[in-house]
Each structure stands twice: as C-alpha cells, then as structure tokens.
Chain A
Amino acid sequence: MPDSLNERKERIAKFKKTILNKDDSARSVDIPEGLFVKCEACGNAVYQRVLDQNDGICPNCGYHFKIGARRRIALIVDPGTFFERDAGIASVNPLGMPDYDEKLLAGAKASGMPEAFLSGTAKIAGRPVAIGVLDSAFMMGSMGSAVGEKVTRLIEAATVQRLPLILFSASGGARMQEGILSLMQMAKTSGALSRFRDAGLLYISVLTNPTTGGVAASFASLGDINIAEKSSLIGFAGPRVIKQTIRQELPEGFQTEQFQLKHGAVDLVASRKEMRVLIARLLQFHPEVRA
C-alpha cells in the first residue's frame, strides 16, 4: 500500500510537469480534435474555432457543448482572481480495481487535471467566493474519495472564511471503481453542507450536463438556489437504467433542464452566456454576513 501511494505521488508529480503546464486554452471544449465538430442537437458541422469563440455553444441551434473546468472558471470569475486549493489531492486505487489506474491516467490526460474536481477561491464582480467545478472529461466527473475530499474541504473552507459557495456539477455520479467509499462521499459532502447552511451562508448549485446519480443525490441538489444550465441532462437514475426497469419508452424531454424546472427541482434555467451575470446578481442580494 505505501509503495503504491508513493508510486502514485510520483506519477502525479510527473503528470503535472508534463500536462498541467500546458496552456489552458489548448483544451477548451470537450470534443475530439479537428477542424469541424458535429453538433449532437442539430447535426450541423460546426467550426471548432467558432465553437471555442462562442463559449462552446452551437452557433446554429444554441446547444451547449460540455466544457472543461478551467474554461468554466474563466467564464465565471474575475480575470486573475482564481486561486486553486487542494491541488495535490488525487485518487488511489483503494480496492485494487482492475483498470482503474489506467482510467485515472486517461482521465487526467483527457481533462488536463489530476482529478475530476477543480476548486479554489475567486472573485465574481468583486465579491470573494469559494468555487468548485466538476469536469466531465475526467471519468465522467465521477465522485470518488478524492473528489469527495476536495468538495468537502472547499465547503469547510467556505464555512470558516464565511464565503458564498458556488459549485458547478457535471457528473455521472459516484465513482464505481472505489465502491462503497465513493458512496460515502455523498454523506460526507452533504454533511459538510449541513454545517455550511447552519453558518448562514449562501450556496448556489449550478447543474450542468450531465448531473446524475450520486452527485445529483448529494451536494448538487442542495443549493439554496439551484440553477440548471441549458442543454443539460439532470436526474437521479440514468435514462438507460430507467428504460430497462420500466420497459417503456421515456417521454420526450425527460430529465432535461426544462423537465427539472417544470417539476420544481431547480429554481431557474440559464444559458452559459448569462450565467456569470446571473450569479453576480444573486450574490448582490446576499450581502456579506458576519459570524
């Protein structure tokens, strides 16, 4: 065990040198490289460059492509104000699950991050906040021990520093490769939010595409204000599982952000372009409170 720990530490250090120092703009939208990409909503071919310049939104139909965590931070916070925290936390393979180590490396490569969650402090329209973003390019943004720990530490830091908390979710749920340990991260993160709430602080949860499973059934649903981004699949069970269980076709628009709005799970739906201003305005309605 200690050997594999050290090994992993070395690998993370090496990985950081080689991959993380690359310019963030090198990976801005989570789609295969190439000049064109196909929009999965309207089917049109879209210039990759046009898509990048349009914040990952299809210029034809407005479909929101998935974007990485660093790109997300850049779209939301005041330039130069983001300070990452807990950057050294990464996963181990506690149950010795086959192929998990390879998946972690592949996830790191695909996302440019050592884990699926990026967190820190920043300012939004001048207001200091604690902010965290899940990156679906890293093992579908799944929550294992490392993600659970980073989310919890961010919530705890926000509680102590009395900062508003903003979490962007994009996740298939709890990470199955860490078994029950992943499941328990749901209790851990939700428990931290109980203390945060008792401290009288504001939590804005932004649910993006996709937010399902153990992340939907823990911190992502617990915002004082839940915002769903356009083009998002949001729900507890995945559509495939539901279809298999009930053996019938799912209704049109099932588990979309509009479905969640209609059924009362989210307070409002926003496009990526209006997200920053919306969050800034909501923060203004919540003046700083002293302990």
Chain B
Amino acid sequence: MNAERPNAAWEKVKLARHPKRPTALALIARLFPDFIELHGDRAFGDDPAVIGGIASFDGRPVTVIAQEKGTNTDDKIHRNFGMPHPEGYRKALRLMLQAERFHRPIVTIIDTPGAYPGIGAEERGQASAIATNLREMMSIKTPVVVIVLGEGGSGGALGIGVGDRVAMFENATYSILSPEGFAAILYKDAEQAPAAASLMKLTAADLFTLHVVDEVMPEGPGLHEDPSTGFVAVQGYLSRALVALSCLPVDRLLSERYIKFRAIGAIVDGENGRSTDENQN
C-alpha cells in the first residue's frame, strides 16, 4: 500500500502487543488513583480479565471498566491474557447498569486479543453475553467514553466498546480479526500476518479516517518507552469528553450515540426496491 513503509501497520500491531506497553491497571493507577475495584457478575464468578470499579475523575465519580492482560507470567495466566469469559462481559454490564442508576459516567478501556474461544466460554454463552452488552450499551442513560489502549480484538473488544466517544492511542489497533487469523484465511498462511495487517485498516489513523474512532491520542515516544505523553493526552481527552457529554440531555446523548454507530458502513443503494417507507431518523 505505502511503498516506503510497507509494514507500517504491522509495526503498530507489534507496538500494541509490546511486552512493555502499559496495561489497563497502569492507566487506571494514573487516571484514577482512588479506584475501588468491584468484583463479580453475581451469577457465575469473577473474571480477572475484566476489571471494574468506581473512582473519581476531575472531582466527580465515574465507573471504570477495563480489560487487563496482566503484567508478568503468573499474572498473565491469571488474567487469561486479557481474553474475557462471558462472566467478564456480564460483570461489565452489571457495573454499567449500576453506574446508570447512580448517574455516573462510564469509562471503558479496551485491551484484548479477543473474547476467549473455549469450551466453558461457549457453555456459558459468550455470544449472548457480548450481544447483550452491545444492545444495553446503546441505551444506557449515562455518558460512555471508550479508550482503546492496546489491542482491540474483534467482538471481544466491542463487547465493552459501544459509547458516545471512542478514542484510540496512536499505536493501538482495532480489528475484526487478528492479522494472523486474517492471513490464515486470506493467504492460507498465518505467517503472512504482516501483509494482512497492511490490508486490514486496523491502525488508529485508519479507523479515524473510517469514522470508527473520534480521536487519536499521541504517544510521543510510544507508551512502551515512556507513557507520560500518552497519559497526559488521555487525561486531557477524557476531561474534555466528559464535560461535553455531561452537558447533553439524556435523549440527545442516546440519539447521538445511536446515529454515531448507525452511520458506519459503506454500501450502494441501487434502488429502493419495493420498499415504500423511509423512516431514517
């Protein structure tokens, strides 16, 4: 695509997965020092891949939901490398409904390779858990700001990713499938992941162009080198976004959130067929 930097997208993939890239807990520690974690989905268990709780931001309470990959080997295994089970999505929803009840804005932080593909996850309804979150997040009556921190892995990311604003770090990625998975299907060869990555439009800049994200937050030298630039950027962005969203009446907040996602896509509408009713609103 870009002759001079054929692997620019793949470089981003590597940075998004960089072992030294701060995980959600580091971002939470910086943005929400008084964070109190709340556990469990009240039905099955507590998913360590999803963190939720209450904190203050700019002097007012917020609910924070995040996907956590873990920092060392034991912690990564404990957190299932940030791949949530259904109970993780259900915990997230429980805490989001709690936030709605107490009129707290919600901040979600995305960093996951994807929802976990396993036997238990299927038995407990991974598809239904994600689907329910998509529907409920569209109608939750409080501002929702989504931060894509590292990897935005498919439906597993989107399961906490419906909001009024979606902001993405410069070196984060967000895609329908991993580049390896994409290459395995397109080229029948997972080794072709770098080539797949450059086709997939998964960088923050790409997604900004496609109107999937509203803001690209600069990282300076990269979050893995020195997170200070990026963390200042996200703090500023969050502050502005929450002020702007908190001013909106709820019905306007919800209709703008709906329209934001409603507008995404590229189609050709050859004719109206035999359809007579036009009811776009």
| Residue in contact with B139 in the complex, picked from A152, A184, A194, CB distance below 8 Å | A194
CA distance A235 to B120 in the complex (A): 12
A95 to B279, CA, bound (A): 29
Which of B155, B182, B271, B272 contacts A183, CB < 8 Å?
A: B155
CB atoms of B272 and A88 under 8 A apart: yes
Chain A residue at smallest Cβ distance from B259: A191
Q: Which residues of A contact B126 (CB under 8 A)?
A: 217, 235-237
Complex interface: chain A residues within 8 A of B200 (CB): 95, 179-180
Query: Within the complex, what minimum Cβ distance (angstroms) separates A83 from chain B?
Result: 6
Q: A84-B273, A176-B177, A182-B176 are in contact. Are A190 and B135 (CB under 8 A)?
A: yes
Beta-carbon contact of A85 and B275 below 8 Å: yes
- From A115, which residue of chain B is reached at the shortest CB distance? B267
Query: Would you call A193 and B135 a contact (CB within 8 A)?
Result: yes
**Counting CB contacts under 8 A, is B202 at the interface?**
yes
Are A221 and B266 closer than 8 Å at their CB atoms? no
Q: How far is the CA of A67 from the CA of B122 in the complex (A)?
A: 26
- Contact call B131/A184, Cβ cutoff below 8 A: no
Interface centre among A190, A219, A251 (most CB of B within 10 A): A190
A134 lies within 8 A of chain B by Cβ: no
For B249, the chain A residues whose CB sits under 8 A away are none
> A94 at the A/B interface (Cβ < 8 Å)?
yes
A interface bracket (residues with beta carbon within 8 Å of B): 35 or more
Q: Which residues of B contact A9 (CB under 8 A)?
A: 268, 270
Contact present for B273 and A86 (CB under 8 Å): yes
Are A222 and B119 CB-contacts (below 8 A) given A186-B155, A236-B127?
no
Which chain B positions have C-beta within 8 A of A194? 135-136, 138-139
Q: In the complex, which of the residues A12, A214, A245 contacts B117, with contact meaning CB atoms closer than 8 Å?
A: A245
- Chain B residues, CB < 8 A from A97: 199
Whether A184 lies near B117 (C-beta < 8 A) is no
Nearest A residue to B199 via CB reads A97
- Assuming the A-B contacts A161-B277, A180-B202, are A187 and B270 also in contact, with contact meaning beta carbons closer than 8 angstroms in the complex? no
Q: How many A-B pairs fall under 8 Å by CB?
A: 225
Residue from the list B119, B130, B158, B266 in contact with A94, Cβ < 8 A: B266
B121, CB-defined interface residue at 8 Å: yes
Q: Is the CB of A98 within 8 A of B127?
A: no
> Given the interface contacts A183-B155, A217-B155, A263-B124, does A87 sit within 8 Å of B261 by beta carbon?
no
Chain A min CB distance to B13 (Å): 14
Does A236 lie within 8 Å of B130, measured CB to CB?
yes
CB contact between A145 and one of B175, B257, B267 (< 8 Å): that residue: B267
Q: Which of A145, A187, A246 contacts B119 (CB 8 A)?
A: A246
The interface residues of chain B lying within 8 Å CB-to-CB of A245 are 116-118
A 188-244 contacts with B by CB, 8 A: 188, 190-195, 197-198, 212-214, 216-222, 235-238, 241-242
Q: Which residues of A contact B258 (CB under 8 A)?
A: 191, 195
Q: List residues of B (243-265) whose CB comes within 8 Å of A's CBs.
A: 257-258, 261-262, 264-265
- Asked whether, in the complex, the Cβ of A86 is within 8 Å of the Cβ of B275, the reply is yes
B128 CB within 8 Å of chain A: yes
- Across the interface, do B158 and A186 meet the contact criterion of CB distance under 8 Å? yes
The yes or no answer to B74 lying at the interface (CB within 8 A) is no
Question: B98 interface residue, CB < 8 Å from A?
Answer: no
Pairwise interchain contact B279-A156, C-beta atoms closer than 8 A = yes
Most buried by A among B158, B174, B200, B202: B158
Q: Report whether A241 and B265 are in contact in the complex, using a CB–CB cutoff of 8 Å.
A: no
Asked if A265 lies at the interface with its beta carbon under 8 angstroms from chain B, I say yes
Q: Are A160 and B279 in contact (CB under 8 A)?
A: yes
The 9 closest A-B pairs by CB, nearest first: A87-B273, A237-B117, A145-B265, A88-B270, A191-B138, A85-B275, A190-B134, A88-B271, A94-B266
Instruction: List 18 additional A-B contacts (Cβ < 8 Å) besides A88-B273, A180-B206.
Output: A13-B270, A88-B271, A95-B199, A178-B266, A179-B176, A180-B200, A184-B265, A191-B139, A191-B257, A217-B134, A221-B127, A222-B131, A236-B122, A237-B122, A242-B119, A250-B119, A263-B123, A263-B125
Identify 16 residue pairs between A and B in the complex whose beta-carbon atoms are under 8 Å apart, listed by A's number.
Answer: A8-B268, A87-B275, A89-B270, A179-B176, A179-B202, A181-B212, A181-B265, A190-B131, A191-B257, A191-B261, A217-B127, A218-B130, A236-B127, A245-B118, A246-B118, A255-B122
Interface residues of B (CB under 8 A from A): 115-119, 121-128, 130-132, 134-136, 138-139, 154-155, 158-159, 161-162, 174-177, 181-182, 185-186, 199-202, 206-207, 210, 212, 257-258, 261-262, 264-275, 277, 279-281
